[in-house]
Structure formats: structure tokens, C-alpha cells
Structure 1
């Protein structure tokens, strides 16, 4: 029998990609570099190709430097992309660092804040994010409008980046110790399949996929179906909030659709 949404006590969220428009923020932050590409360069207008190359470098650098602040990771990624595109010598002083510092200005999705406010009526809400504290605080004060989460667990303080299982173990330990919520009451919610939902599932957490389609780098479900069994799946945070409202008011749950 499928488990109901109203049987959980805590929702843990990936932030960038699920609540914040990570892909849109990256593309906007790379605009100065993209604008320098030759107009005939096929990658210039290929958002998916740009983002996939970004993810390649980000993952490689995070693995090599697991304790490096996320803003510094982005600075390095910017420089790698410039090199890939033959633009390394065109980077201005401070340009790559400005990209790293842009995290706090990336916008939330239009449905994020209203959905969080509805979900907060029924669950404790926790962030598990591949970010540094300074950058997250800027996001929290700006795009997230000072929203009050019950806990925020970030890569800078954990000492590794997702999909490392250590991050999810840290989440579970923190929720159990600080919020008195056991593992079986946690529902990890994210748009990134490989970075979030597969490792969460491997650790025995319940999982909820926020599709956020069309997205370029959240992952394709067909490629990880043998590694993951989703408990819930929604097109957006708004749809999840609507399902939660129904579950608590009518005793029903949409589950995986």
C-alpha cells in the first residue's frame, strides 16, 4: 500500500534547482562569457549544452576539492568554461569571482514561497544544499524573502558535496538529534535525480521528485530507474503543496503519478 503524504513529519529540500532557479541563474551569470562566443558557434544558443558542460566541470571540481566553498567552485568553473571556449585570455579582472558571487541573486521559482508557506503548516522544513553559508544567507535574505527553515545543512559545514552519502547521513543525524524527527519520517524532496534522489534512496530515505520541466540538468528518470524507486513525483512545488493540502484535509495522497 502506498504511503500517504500526511504520515511524514519533515521535508528536506535541495535548494538550488528545486526552490531556486539554478539553471536560469547560471545562464544569466555566464551571459558575459556567452556573449563573447562567435555568433556562428553552435554552443552560443544551446542552453542544454552549456549547462551540461557547466555540470561536468562543477562535479569534477567538487570531487577534487570537497571542502572548497561553493562560490570558489563557481569561480573555477567559469575559468574552465572560458578555456573550453577559447576565451580564457578575455576574462576581465574579477569577472570569474563575480560569477561565484552571483549565487545570492539567483531567483526563486514563482511557486516556491507560496508552496513553502503551505508545507510549513504541516511539516518541519530543512535545507540540504551544495552551497557555502555566505552564499546561502544571501539567497535567504533576498530571493527566499527571509523564510524560516527549521534547519539548514550545507556542504561547507558538512565537508563534502552531494551526491556523497556523507551529506545525507549528516542530514539524518541532524534531524534526529536536533529536531527529534526519525529517518522514517523524512521525505527528501529535490529535482536532481543523480545528486539528490538516488543517494537519498540508497540511504533508505523516502524520496519526492519535483520535475521542474523543462530542465536541462536535473536528470532523466529513464536513466536511473534501476537505481531509484520514487515515493512521490510532482511537476512543481505548487503541485506538491496542493497534494499536501489535500492529504491533510481529505486524508488522500497523489503519490507517484
Structure 2
């Protein structure tokens, strides 16, 4: 699926979802657990940790919790699940190091090269619920060539709050239709589209691991559908 380009509303900024779209959170957490705690089922641990993500954000979005960084939400979830995996004995230093695993996530194999190509023609930035420290350390380690790091922390709102999507356009002083969200999650893209952004879907069938393959079928509402970021670069003429 290709965009019908128009001179007045040409896309200038590509804003990227991060967890699952640019980096392989599941595989990375499995690898961390294999190295740190090989007796633990890394697949189950990664899925349990991620499963707490939306409920924790919902508590912030409802006002039950005050504004909280994702690092701190990840730590709350981690402390809750450790006993389930026989790791209740971990001390503060070990818990803190494990929680930083989210700063050490590996990019998908196509991500760095794809971003480098897209960066030649577009401003490329993050639009993630991850906090600024997390996203910056992740980019530094993984070699992700962002022009700008934007986060829910900047807007004090988590996606899919309209403040996040509209915030990107505001940062770059652009109308929303000149910003495109790139994501592997249809609900994220739907939120962006409702705010006037363009949308590009990226297939990440193994986001939740080989045991839980995702349906990555195209949805007509997205202007672009790509196999990976190299394919997206090709479609966008980069």
C-alpha cells in the first residue's frame, strides 16, 4: 500500500514506536534471563513482565497513580513477579540491574540500517511510552540514529492519549498530516490516525516470541504496510 503524495501535506517526520517495532523486547529479555538466571523460563518471564505493562499504565491514566516513569512501572511489575519465578531473594542491586534490561534491548536486525536510510530523507524520532533516560541509553547502546528522542515523559501522557501524537506535530511546528507514526501495533496507529497523523505498519510476527506468533495481516486504514524498516525505506524512496 502506498501513500498518495500531495505537495502540501508531504510527510516530513517519521515518529517511531519503540518496544516491539524497533527493538526486540521479548528476545532481549529472554537473553538477559538466560545469562543472569538460567534456571528461569525466560520466555514466560518476559511475557509476564510485559503483561503488567498496560494495567500499570492504566493506573496512571486513571489517576490512581500520579505521573510515573516507565522505568518505575517496570520496577513495580518486576517486584510483583519475582516470587512467581523463584527470585524473591534478589537484593536491591540485582533488581535494579535486571530492571535496566529495558535499557539494553537489542534492535531488530533491520532496524539500524533501515533507520539510517530513512534518516536521509526524513526527520526520524521516537514516540514511545518509555522514558527519556531509557530511550537515550537504549539508542546509545544499540546505535539507533535518532534525530530526536521524544517520549511520553515530554508530554506527561501515555499513548494513546492524543497529547502524545499531537505533541510530535507541535514539537516540529507541523500540521499532523506531515507526521507519520511507524508502529507494529494497530491500536497505536489507530490513535495516531484519529489525531490526523499518517500511519505505517511494520510486521513483527515474533514480537512475543516463536511460541506466540502475531497476526500481521494488512489493515486498509494504514497508508503503508511493510515487512520491516528496510522495506519501509524502499517504499518511501530512501
Deviation for aligned residue 1:119:
0.9
**Aligned counterparts of 1:192 and 1:117: Cα–Cα separation in 2:** 22
- From the superposition, tell whether residues 94 and 121 of structure 1 become closer, same or farther in structure 2 (CA, over 3 Å): same
8 Å Cα contact 2:206-2:214 kept in structure 1:
no
Give the aligned CA root-mean-square deviation in angstroms: 2.9
> Aligned runs of 1:1-257 on 2, under 5 Å?
3-4=3-4, 7-31=10-34, 35-37=38-40, 44=41, 47=43, 50-65=45-60, 67-83=67-83, 85=84, 87=86, 89-144=88-143, 147-149=145-147, 151-176=148-173, 181-194=174-187, 196-216=188-208, 220=215, 229-245=221-237
Instruction: Tell me the equivalent position of 1:40.
Output: none
Deviation for aligned residue 1:190:
0.9
8 Å Cα contact 2:125-2:146 kept in structure 1:
no
- From the superposition, tell whether residues 121 and 82 of structure 1 become closer, same or farther in structure 2 (CA, over 3 Å): same
**Aligned counterparts of 1:30 and 1:130: Cα–Cα separation in 2:** 23
**Aligned counterparts of 1:237 and 1:218: Cα–Cα separation in 2:** 19
Structure 1: any 5+ residue segments left out of the alignment?
38-43, 249-257
Q: How many residues align?
A: 227
TM-score (norm 2): 0.81
8 Å Cα contact 2:16-2:125 kept in structure 1:
yes
Deviations 1:171-214 (A, max 9, x none): 222232xxxx32111111011223x2121122232110111222
